[in-house]
Amino acid sequence: MNTHVAFFGDADRTFALTPELIIELERKIGMGIGSLCLRVPEGHFKHADLVEITRLALIGGGTTPQEAAALADTYAAKRPLNEPYALATAILQMIWSGTPAPKLEGEASANG
């Protein structure tokens, strides 16, 4: 399983979308993963898309569902859009190509 590690909230966290979580993401957003992987990097997304990608990828990376929901609510839903956008785009890039995306403007580094 491909993962993306990024500083999120107060620590480095692992993000991953397993096949089961991809199915859940498609259900929650109402769109196939292929469309989502193409649409979000182009800037065509809903705020809820970014939060849901983050929440489910935290779960896939080993965070409990309860903690993932709290982290996504605090550090994705209530932050400037460039922060969850950069993270969601990197997560989707990992799904699309299996390789980490280059750091995007606005994505926090492990050093803050």
Q: Tens digits of per-residue pLDDT, 42-57?
A: 999 999 999 999 999 9
**pLDDT at site 102:** 57
**pLDDT at site 28:** 96
Side chain identity, residue 56: L
How far is CA 109 from each of CA 29, 50, 52, 86, rounded to the nearest angstrom?
A: 28, 19, 21, 11
Is the CB of residue 37 less than 8 Å from the CB of residue 96?
yes
Q: Tens digits of per-residue pLDDT, 61-111?
A: 999 999 999 999 999 999 999 999 999 999 999 999 887 655 544 444 433
Q: pTM here?
A: 0.86
**pLDDT at site 50:** 97
